Amino acid sequence: MIKRTLFEKISKRINTGKAIILLGPRQVGKTTLLKEVISGRDHLFLDGDDPSVRNILAGINTEGLKSLIGRHKLVYIDEVQRIEGIWLTLKIITDQFKEVQLLVSGSSAFEINNMINEPLTGRKWEYQLFPVSWSEFEENKGYLIAEQQLELRLIYGMYPDVINSIEDSAEVLKQLVNSFLFRDLLSYSGIRKPEVLEKLVRALAFQIGNEVSYNELAQLCNIDKNTVSNYIDLLEQGYVIYRLKSFSKNLRNEIKTNHKIYFYDNGVRNAVMGNLNAFDSRADKGQLWENFLITERIKELNYAASLIKPYFWRTTTQQEVDYVEDDAGIISGYEIKLNPNAKVRIPKTFGEAYNTKVEVVNRNNFRDFLKL
């Protein structure tokens, strides 16, 4: 079992007077992590996937909760988004059962955020868990194994079950994608045309690292621009993709409103495309490398609770920096290349405008990029 970065952080929050909320896609190890945190402690575990649990918790009152919780000092509710009206129950436990530590996990941000943000304002510690990070992988597997498996991870991704099933990686990955991407996303969001969603996700998979046009996507999928926007919102809240905004402050010709879209996991992206070919034979090596590194950096920023804001930078004259960070006004730029010997054009305009240098991240030095 791979020890997760959030283990120590969450463990320190036990019995600090607030609910602990852990969000993230299915199968990233949320349940495993929280059960490890509470291992050896007396606790009540309630699984939102269990119909009988959903029936008990839906609309339960304070007296009912007293009977249900009993003498337990720790209550863990999993897949909370499946339980109707659970927000009120969470509020009651937090407000009325001061001696009880509440832990909650869920897989659907667009469901959960609506349920918990207002009722638990000021009453919660909230964390996000992603597929295994490279730092977690290397720390647990060791440098040699991690180095040997880098190309496999670029193809099959970082989901725990995929990592632990090398011989069956393709099958495990396909089942995972069909389960959480299409079954869960469709059931939670009410999308009526799954074939349209699938077509849109495939289109996005081919465009990682490029600026996306909602108008072009609308034409490609034969839907209107607003529907494209809504579907992308759902895919982002469902932890399939995320958007990287364009950075602009000083220059008139900077792109100000566009964004790029990346996948939270290379394996999911490749499975959606139906392309799990070996790394050496692929024409999209650069895209895979860029998606992998930027995503891994985003994970590290999130786990460190960093206030650094990530962007990309481009001008109307096609000057570009792959990845940019704004750390309270201190700007850093990075060009991402797989080949250490690749020629890199670094725009002087960017460095002069923001008083910074652009670093080149490649196969040889990428570990430094992933350290905060």
Condensed to tens digits (0 to 9), the pLDDT of residues 270-283 reads 999 999 999 999 99
User: Across 87-123, where does the E strand assignment appear?
Assistant: 101-106
Query: What integer pLDDT is reported at residue 182 of this predicted model?
Result: 67
Structure-token pair, residue 282:
């692929």
User: Across the chain, where does the E strand assignment appear?
Assistant: 19-23, 44-47, 74-78, 101-106, 124-128, 241-245, 259-263, 309-314, 320-327, 330-336, 358-361
Query: What integer pLDDT is reported at residue 123 of this predicted model?
Result: 86
- CATH number (3.40.50.300, 3.40.50.12160, 1.10.150.130, 1.25.40.10) of 6-128 reads 3.40.50.300
| Residue whose C-alpha is closest to residue 312's, from 299, 288, 340, 293 | 293
Domain boundaries, the chain: 6-128, 134-369
Query: What integer pLDDT is reported at residue 171 of this predicted model?
Result: 96
Say how far residue 145 (Cα) sits from the centre of its chain: 24
Query: What integer pLDDT is reported at residue 37 of this predicted model?
Result: 97
The model's pTM: 0.93
Query: What integer pLDDT is reported at residue 140 of this predicted model?
Result: 95
Query: What integer pLDDT is reported at residue 254 of this predicted model?
Result: 85
Residues 29 and 104: beta-carbon distance below 8 Å: no
* Cα–Cα distance, 262 to 244 (Å, whole number): 8
* Residues of the chain with confidence (pLDDT) below 70: 108-119, 180-184, 186-192
- Identify the bridge partners of residue 260 per DSSP, sorted by sequence position: 211, 244
Query: What integer pLDDT is reported at residue 188 of this predicted model?
Result: 60
pLDDT digits (tens, 9 = 90+) for 149-184: 999 999 999 999 999 999 999 999 999 988 766 666
